[in-house]
Structure 1
Amino acid sequence: MIRFEDVRVTYDGADGPTVRDVDFTVPEGELVLLAGPSGVGKSTVLGAVSGLVPHFTGGTLGGRVTVAGRDTRTHKPRDLADVVGTVGQDPLAHFVTDTVEEELAYGMESLGLPPQAMRRRVEETLDLLGLAELRDRPIATLSGGQRQRVAIGSVLTPHPAVLVLDEPTSALDPAAAEEVLAVLQRLVHDLGTTVFLAEHRLERVIHYADQVVLLPEPGAAPVVGTPAEVMAVSPVCPPVVDLGRLAGWSPLPLTVRDARRRAAPLRERLAGRTPPPGAPPVTAAPAARPAPAARRWPRRRPPRPEADPVPRSGPAAEVRGLAVRRGRTETLHGVDLVVSPGETVALMGRNGAGKSTLLAALAGLVQPSAGVVRAAGAVPHRTPPRDLVRRVGLVPQEPRDLLYADTVAAECRAADRDAGAGPGTCRALLSGLLPGIADDTHPRDLSEGQRLTLALAVVLTARPPLLLLDEPTRGLDYAAKARLTEILRALAAEGHAIVLATHDVELAVELAHRVVLLAQGEVIADGPTADVAVASPSFAPQVAKILAPQKWLTVAQVREALS
């Protein structure tokens, strides 16, 4: 169905090809996973299937890509629209209408399908993706995960022969991700749809794949094979595979069930040992004083000299009886939360549970309808932005909201200047998180994960006493997540409080001291990470499921115990 023949793509101004020697076939009716570290060209390979590369991205496409016999060099995306459905990393860039139902119907209208068929397919898709209750909702009011499902649904309704998906589960909670992947598997098995997708959260998708195409490093030829064959040599792998490598299992397990069947000897070796903590204990150290001009929206506003000093004691964040209404919907109700200096708290829950709204309230972006919110000693929504930026730093789900310079180097220089940090501080943070991003690259030319990493470096440059992160690992591979974890742990050790909203259970157990579980705008659980995560089947990490009833959470814990 999809054929790559000696494909290479070179962008204008680049030192060399972004991808080269790409030569493989995606058979009809199979789900093929494109894997590899951040920045190796996965989005470029996917874009070549839909015709976006090079017709919209520019650059030079060498070799040949054919989809259902159509050459993408001579067929633009509109000429492939009846065959290929594409969802990129950014759902907002995908939408052209205002409401969920209109968006699901738009693609079929463009293809001229009869109204009866359109109505039936819209209803089917609403049910398949759990969107029925949202059918009349404005897209602007949806959470990031809900938007992701709508974007996927909008390309499913025309029933394309090929689906191309870039990070389709990155903004979805575990249960919603399983639902979406189950739908994709049904399309593959029952309808013969060809699915070609890239995904960093391999633990979610690896066991669904018929083949894996691995891009091991920038410019390297891909490695193609079965999931087990490729995972044996891959530089990126899910925890279940990493645990299998540590235990010496062969062949490597791809699912929790396979791993549990082999885990009895490993559990015996670990019996009587106590898992080391996933996150260092919270210290009593006061919050580290931030640089003079910590930043959040709007930028370029230094604090007034007469502004009140940032308090060095007391809670870093305090929420009492918080309620927030958006239109007729109460997104938060009766929320209580206290975060101490040096503490890392993970907000978890289904899409639309209110995680991003809680972060927005702490950052002063929404006004409470009831209750009290204090962040670093200030009432956020009543504090002028030029003063609040000294206390709170927010990395939103959409990193473009923080990026405006023409190059990565200019963005880093601006971050240093705004934060009062030494020259090169932001650049060093960026290189530590994700090496290999060139200084002269425009932020819009970065992948979603690279843009997020740049936004993280920009905010971390100011080292605010309260750091808020909304889905900070979208688009990051396992190595980048490990580097991010190290940086955030160091900040917490210095006394910075960190609150992150995430669906990444593996990140939560590695980093968070506490997990706060939200449902329908209310806190339903708040406690130590090991207790809350393990108690929830949906939010338990893979290692916990494999080694239960022992309370091991991460491969790093097991490795430390065995060594």
Structure 2
Amino acid sequence: MADPAIVLTGVGVVPTDGSVPLLRDVDLVVEEGELALVVGRTGSGKSTLLGVMCGRVPHFTGGTLRGRAVVAGRDTRTHRPRDLADVVGVVGQDPLAGFVTDTVEEELAYGMEQLGLPTATMRKRVEETLDLLGIPELRGVPLRELSGGQQQRVAIGSVLTAHPSVILLDEPTSALDPTGAEEVLATITRLVHDLGVTVVVAEHRVERVLHHADRVVHVAPGGTVHDGLPAEVMLTSDIAPPVVELGRWAGWSPLPLSVRDARRAAGDLRERLHGSPAGAPPDAPALGPAVLRAAGAVVRHPGDVIAVAGVDLELRAGEVTALMGRNGSGKSSLLWALQGSGRLAAGRVEVIGPGGTAVDPASLSPAARRARVGLVPQTAGDLLYLDTVGGECAQSDRESGAPAGTCAGLLERLAPGIPADRHPRDLSEGQRLALVLAVQLTADPPVLLLDEPTRGLDPTAKAVLSTTLRDLAARGRSVVVSTHDVEFVAECADRVVVMATGEVVADGPTADVVVSSPAFAPQVSKVLGGPWLTVADVRDAAPAPVRS
């Protein structure tokens, strides 16, 4: 029998300042050719665990590593990351940020150049990798012109050409639409099944990966780690996809890990629900007046690329609108145009104030614009410029004229336990996003736009975010969320607008739009059909669990 690919024995990680350990007494074995899914709350230590496996902790991060970590037979204490580069490949949360060349072919070859491989070997491996990933037609394409899913596959390919035995991926599908995520996961599972590569994936979108996993590694608050077979861990895990939550509530055994498994167990529950008077769709929320209106909005990028093609859109007070569509469909460009920072090539955008007065947000000063239309961008860190979290919160309170502690209180709700003296760059992706969201919410604008706000957020943080946005809508605010997270949309949104090639192709109540779409339908809808989008909907319709 082959030796395990990864063996952690008594591993603990203490940061440089000697504060609370990030990981405690971790014993973990990942066998060769396994796909291990790492789950846990935001900031629990998932990225730190991956850092231990590739030697970045403590060689790059500092601090103290206790215990022993052996990867592909090499002890990370005596092998720095460069000494592991030929056996461990790492793909980060943002593939574009990790690219160092200009085109796909150059990026695939770069890692091999650093390892000093012969030219003939490099050419052969580039061709093999292009075929394996199914992207030979992208050979000479500039990396910045690729879709999110294509960029993620190239990032995987750039480490795969070194023929590593272990690949570590941190949130590989967080920025991808459902179709792009499936393409990336198909590539990952092919590496595991066909090539015997060991893959460790840290992912908050558990519903996308769980049914592919051989092992689940749960990182609990406080840095303790428990691992086991997926069904075993999911029985008690605080991080679970909707099909697992539905199965636990209904008492299904074995516990379903996929939509297919859940459908097989759900026959009696479907019959009961479809005969229930609670199966009627909920009443639409009472909406206020229009607060923002776009008419014929066109956004053109350099090279005469039309990102937004004549969009008409009206946002009303009291409504949460989800903006959905494939990567590259124009969602982000539309949000920036609505906020006023993105330049329109044609059409107009108006923010409608009290008394019906309308103003173009692009004509306002940045401070005045922020008070009318708030925007949380995809790259949240772009809005952070101070040295501490507490400094950012205090500055936000001052700029917004809010009582001291307002921003810090919002942050504590979204991502509890972040020290005020922590540098924003030292936060996890989810914590950094929560900080920027708290900064924008402090200004309490009548219109709030969020671009992929659930990236890096665990289910608990997403539930808090959903409650926060619903509360904003209840207070008469209009909220627009651009997202690929169909489960979050099911929980939060009243209305769904779908874009494709810069145009609006669907616009209507959430249940009407998502249920009819195989790509955007949430798991509960796929299992049970009808108007039920979430486990909470099912609980309300059938209060007594159905045992099978």
TM-score scaled by length of structure 2: 0.92
SS in 1 for 2:290: coil
Provide Cα deviations, 1:139-176, integer angstroms capped at 9, x if missing partner: 44556555444333322333321100011110111111
SS in 1 for 2:233: helix
Matches within 5 A, 1:59-138: 59-123=63-127, 125-126=129-130, 129=133, 135-138=139-142
Measure the CA separation in 1 of the matches of 2:136 and 2:367: 42
Match of 1:252 in 2: 255
- The one of 16, 35, 40 equivalent to 1:36 is 40
The reply to whether residue 362 of structure 1 matches residue 366 of structure 2 is no
Cα–Cα, structure 1 residues 335 and 145, in superposed 2: closer, same or farther, change >3 Å?
farther
Match of 2:419 in 1: 438
Check conservation: 2:329, 2:500, Cα contact below 8 A: yes
Measure the CA separation in 1 of the matches of 2:190 and 2:405: 50
Cα–Cα, structure 1 residues 500 and 100, in superposed 2: closer, same or farther, change >3 Å?
farther
Match of 1:194 in 2: 198
Check conservation: 2:496, 2:507, Cα contact below 8 A: yes
Provide Cα deviations, 1:474-512, integer angstroms capped at 9, x if missing partner: 111111100000000000111111111101000111111
The reply to whether residue 555 of structure 1 matches residue 535 of structure 2 is yes
Measure the CA separation in 2 of the matches of 1:66 and 1:19: 16
Cα–Cα, structure 1 residues 495 and 262, in superposed 2: closer, same or farther, change >3 Å?
same
- The one of 310, 315, 328 equivalent to 2:304 is 328
Measure the CA separation in 1 of the matches of 2:193 and 2:536: 37
Task: Tell me how far 1:29 sits from its aligned partner.
Answer: 0.8
Task: Tell me how far 1:74 sits from its aligned partner.
Answer: 1.4
Provide Cα deviations, 1:198-234, integer angstroms capped at 9, x if missing partner: 11111000011111111122232x1111000000010
Q: Which runs of 5+ in 1 are unaligned?
A: 286-312
Match of 2:12 in 1: 8
Check conservation: 2:33, 2:199, Cα contact below 8 A: yes
Provide Cα deviations, 1:407-439, integer angstroms capped at 9, x if missing partner: 111111111111111111111111111212122
Measure the CA separation in 1 of the matches of 2:473 and 2:371: 17
Provide Cα deviations, 1:250-300, integer angstroms capped at 9, x if missing partner: 22100111100110111122123334768x844344xxxxxxxxxxxxxxx
Match of 2:231 in 1: 228
The reply to whether residue 208 of structure 1 matches residue 212 of structure 2 is yes
Provide Cα deviations, 1:384-418, integer angstroms capped at 9, x if missing partner: 32321221111111111111221111111111111
Matches within 5 A, 1:518-537: 518-537=499-518
Measure the CA separation in 1 of the matches of 2:148 and 2:363: 27
TM-score scaled by length of structure 1: 0.90
Check conservation: 1:39, 1:218, Cα contact below 8 A: no
Quick one: percent identity of the two aligned structures? 61
The reply to whether residue 170 of structure 1 matches residue 174 of structure 2 is yes
Q: What amino acid does structure 2 have at the position aligned with 1:492?
A: A
Check conservation: 2:294, 2:349, Cα contact below 8 A: yes
Q: Give the length in aligned residue pairs.
A: 533
The reply to whether residue 352 of structure 1 matches residue 328 of structure 2 is yes
The reply to whether residue 340 of structure 1 matches residue 316 of structure 2 is yes
Task: Tell me how far 1:138 sits from its aligned partner.
Answer: 4.1
Task: Tell me how far 1:114 sits from its aligned partner.
Answer: 4.1
Measure the CA separation in 2 of the matches of 1:366 and 1:359: 8
- The one of 386, 390, 394 equivalent to 2:367 is 386
Match of 1:240 in 2: 243
Measure the CA separation in 2 of the matches of 1:496 and 1:123: 53
Measure the CA separation in 2 of the matches of 1:110 and 1:375: 53
Measure the CA separation in 2 of the matches of 1:455 and 1:503: 19
Check conservation: 2:295, 2:310, Cα contact below 8 A: no
SS in 2 for 1:480: helix
Provide Cα deviations, 1:327-371, integer angstroms capped at 9, x if missing partner: 232222222221112221111111111111111211223212222
Check conservation: 1:104, 1:122, Cα contact below 8 A: yes
Cα–Cα, structure 1 residues 65 and 372, in superposed 2: closer, same or farther, change >3 Å?
same
Cα–Cα, structure 1 residues 128 and 69, in superposed 2: closer, same or farther, change >3 Å?
closer
Matches within 5 A, 1:265-284: 265-273=268-276, 274-275=278-279, 281-284=284-287
Measure the CA separation in 2 of the matches of 1:483 and 1:117: 51
Q: What amino acid does structure 1 have at the position aligned with 2:445?
A: P
Q: Which runs of 5+ in 2 are unaligned?
A: 353-357, 544-548
Measure the CA separation in 1 of the matches of 2:478 and 2:198: 45
Check conservation: 1:148, 1:171, Cα contact below 8 A: no
Match of 1:300 in 2: none
- Of stretches 322-331 and 475-484 in structure 1, the one that deviates more from structure 2 is 322-331
Check conservation: 1:283, 1:495, Cα contact below 8 A: no
Matches within 5 A, 1:178-189: 178-189=182-193
Task: Tell me how far 1:458 sits from its aligned partner.
Answer: 0.9
Measure the CA separation in 2 of the matches of 1:508 and 1:326: 32
SS in 2 for 1:266: helix
Task: Tell me how far 1:134 sits from its aligned partner.
Answer: 5.4
The reply to whether residue 395 of structure 1 matches residue 360 of structure 2 is no
Measure the CA separation in 2 of the matches of 1:223 and 1:90: 27
Task: Tell me how far 1:119 sits from its aligned partner.
Answer: 4.3
Check conservation: 1:517, 1:525, Cα contact below 8 A: yes
Check conservation: 1:345, 1:512, Cα contact below 8 A: yes
Cα–Cα, structure 1 residues 128 and 412, in superposed 2: closer, same or farther, change >3 Å?
farther
Check conservation: 1:122, 1:157, Cα contact below 8 A: yes
Q: What amino acid does structure 1 have at the position aligned with 2:330?
A: G
Match of 1:542 in 2: 523
SS in 2 for 1:467: strand
Check conservation: 1:323, 1:335, Cα contact below 8 A: no
Check conservation: 2:290, 2:315, Cα contact below 8 A: no
CA RMSD of aligned residues (A): 2.0
